[in-house]
Homo-oligomer: A and B are copies of this chain.
Amino acid sequence: MALLEASKSWQGSAPGSVNPDLASERQTASFCVERLTALLDGGAEQTRIRRAVVDAIESDPVFSRENQYFQTQNERYEAAVRKAVHLQKKMHEMGWTENGPEYKYIYRALSGDVAFLLHRVFMRSISVLGSDKQIAKWIPLATQHKLIGSYAQTELGHVGRSATHTVVFAQLYIHGKCYGIHPFIVQIRSLQDHSLCPGITAGDIGPKMNFEHIDNGYLLLRNVRVPRENMLSKFCEVRPDGTYVRQGSQKINYFTMTTVRISLISDEVLTPLMKACTIAIRYSVVRRQSKLKPGEQEAKILDYQTQQEKLLPQLAAAYAFYFTNDYLQELFNRGYREIQRKNFDMLPELHALSSGFKAVITQHCTAGVEICLRACGGHGYSLLSGLPSLYTKILASCIYEGENTILLLQTARFLIKCFMAASAGQPVPPSVTYLAAVKHGKCPAKNKLDFLSPDIYIEAYQHVAVRLTSNTAAKLQDLIQSGVKKHDAWNQCTVQLVQAAKAHCHYIAVKNFAETVEKLETKAGIQKIMKHLCDLFALHGIFSNTGAFLHDGYTSAAQMDMVTASYLDLLAVIRKDAVPLVDAFDFTDKSLNSALGSYDGHVYQRLYEWAQRSPTNQMSPAYERYLKPLLHNTLSKL
């Protein structure tokens, strides 16, 4: 029935025109959208390359996602395989190579809708963990698609229907002694006819909440012999005589996961949130409902404080975590260079940060996409909005590559260890030196404007992170001293340990955002709006978690009221730039694939036209078969 009301507004619209309700939002931008896009891309030249890649992909009909929302799992899988195969051809045609500047934009341009993703993880495992000889043997085979690789570890399997080879992480036993988890290359299907190799049972795990384009599988191995030289052996090796030799930390075997965790943040987590924000915010200035002021026309729903409070914090989080990702990438690159030199010193910090942030960012962004979906009401629930598939896709990121709670507990273990070390005056990695400097002061803010000062809120976040870590460390010690066994004591502290790990990551994210904003000094218009977003991100975190800040009196109730006031004020400020801020993400309509979120804002027209294409609007046999006999009362006698 929304269509009924709205039909007036679009039936007169000229093709190519922009809905005036959306157009007006762009006329009042406080900053240059194109310049912000370039900043996000890392320079105008990068923006140019990215757009060229997107354009080449989107103009090729093989890569079309037009009918995606009407496809079955099998159809989506086949389309994804077709695209993956066509991509090789396309790259050749375009002169794109795996080391070229275009490569990193391909996946975004395809919206991830392509098969053989695990093939990349397969290759990465070999590159990171394989010896030079192994790399020389396998990487060319994989690059030329003479095999299709996969990755097999736990839970949602990865071997599915396509793979011929996989890296299996399994226990290494030598002469009956277990040496722990190691990576092995295992061939699972014939390269000739794709039949399963002897001893292999494998298949697809069936329908999932999304990822229909990916064939996740199960794998059973019975009496399968893997040649010794197929154990990836850059860091660990078994000599012909059965001697086990290790170079450096055994934890290096988990390093593929560390690299995957960091690399997924951008493509699999931030992109869905950024798209969801784009769709929901554009829709919220086109959709009008109820009157805000008596006698006026119905208001844009983004003018309601509650709608702002749903969407704008998600927008701020998208920017915040975008910059967190930059921070993690840089840290990772540094760490990786060291590891290549067999220096493993950064490994614990890298592992703790990648685990914690993988969990925090996926959790935050998943909640954010869900909020965007719900903020679009019934239309958000339609697949045609694009939001359900973004949600079901991002939800998986909370589960794969390490379940979030387990990851947070790994971060917490690192925090407790560092806290103990710092308390004993020992040196700790840079990201946790703050744990040593426990301050017992009070928040110095005197009025609501003070809470727009990064110094004030960064210190508040730091205080909470230190308090949660030190309190939990104390609880742990008390339990152990009272006679509880160490593992039981740890288990009894895990709910609070998770809180500490989250607080640590949140603190770093806020601090990093503020530092990023500070460095933008010359680009005035952009710095100002980024500062607003940083403030909003920080204050939203406090507003949503007031207890943590109030608990020990660091922040008083009066100060919390100031936080609330400043936070609500910011919503109204950022609301004015909401559309330009999502425009800067620079997603094409094809990439959003959303009837609600396209650049021109012709929401109702698209919804109506797209619905016509749905198979549900073709004549269903249900009428002739069931409804007609029912209505004509000619059903077999009741």
For the complex, is A143 an interface residue (Cβ under 8 Å from B)? no
Q: How far is the CB of A310 from chain B (nearest CB, A)?
A: 8
B635 touches A85 (CB 8 A): yes
- Across the interface, which residues of B come within 8 angstroms of A74, CB to CB? 615-616, 620
For the complex, is A456 an interface residue (Cβ under 8 Å from B)? no
Select one of B391, B400, B633 contacting A146, CB under 8 A: B633
Q: When A309-B495, A550-B550, A557-B552 are in contact, do A292 and B487 touch as well, CB less than 8 Å?
A: yes
Chain B residue at minimum C-beta to C-beta distance from A638: B92
A81 touches B203 (CB 8 A): no
Of residues 339 to 381 in A, which have CB atoms within 8 Å of B's CB atoms?
370, 373-374, 377-381
Binding stretch for chain B, among A50-58, A215-223, A319-327: A215-223
For the complex, is A10 an interface residue (Cβ under 8 Å from B)? no
Give the complex CA separation of A78 and B77 in angstroms.
25
For the complex, is A627 an interface residue (Cβ under 8 Å from B)? yes
- Across the interface, which residues of B come within 8 angstroms of A2, CB to CB? 154-155, 157
- Across the interface, which residues of B come within 8 angstroms of A485, CB to CB? 293
The 0/1 profile, CB within 8 Å of B marked 1, for residues 64-98 of chain A is 00000110111001100110110011001000000
For the complex, is A514 an interface residue (Cβ under 8 Å from B)? no
B388 touches A374 (CB 8 A): no
- Across the interface, which residues of B come within 8 angstroms of A547, CB to CB? 545-550, 560
- Across the interface, which residues of B come within 8 angstroms of A156, CB to CB? 378-379, 381-382
Q: How far is the CB of A367 from chain B (nearest CB, A)?
A: 9
Q: How many copies does the complex hold?
A: 2
Of residues 309 to 337 in A, which have CB atoms within 8 Å of B's CB atoms?
309-310
Q: How far is the CB of A277 from chain B (nearest CB, A)?
A: 18
For the complex, is A4 an interface residue (Cβ under 8 Å from B)? yes
B627 touches A194 (CB 8 A): yes
Chain B residue at minimum C-beta to C-beta distance from A409: B306
For the complex, is A106 an interface residue (Cβ under 8 Å from B)? no
For the complex, is A617 an interface residue (Cβ under 8 Å from B)? yes
Most-contacted residue by chain B among A2, A70, A611, A626 (CB, 10 A): A626
- Across the interface, which residues of B come within 8 angstroms of A294, CB to CB? 487
The 0/1 profile, CB within 8 Å of B marked 1, for residues 270-297 of chain A is 0000000000000000000000111000
- Across the interface, which residues of B come within 8 angstroms of A103, CB to CB? none
Chain B residue at minimum C-beta to C-beta distance from A152: B1
A557 touches B553 (CB 8 A): yes
Additional A-B contacts beyond A206-B616, A306-B405 (20; CB < 8 A): A4-B218, A4-B219, A69-B206, A74-B616, A77-B620, A78-B626, A145-B631, A146-B633, A155-B377, A194-B627, A194-B631, A206-B611, A206-B613, A207-B382, A207-B616, A208-B388, A294-B487, A307-B405, A546-B548, A547-B547
A residues in contact (CB < 8 Å) with B? 1-4, 7, 69-70, 72-74, 77-78, 81-82, 84-85, 88-89, 92, 144-148, 152-157, 161-162, 164, 168, 191, 194, 203-209, 215, 218-221, 292-294, 303-307, 309-310, 370, 373-374, 377-384, 388, 391-392, 395-396, 398-400, 403-405, 409, 485, 487-488, 491-496, 498, 545-553, 557, 560, 564, 568, 607-608, 610-617, 620-623, 625-631, 633, 635-636, 638
29 contacts between A and B (CB under 8 A): A1-B153, A1-B157, A3-B220, A4-B221, A70-B207, A74-B615, A78-B620, A78-B626, A85-B629, A85-B630, A147-B631, A155-B379, A156-B379, A161-B617, A194-B628, A194-B631, A203-B611, A204-B611, A204-B617, A206-B611, A208-B381, A209-B381, A209-B383, A292-B491, A306-B494, A370-B370, A377-B403, A496-B564, A551-B560
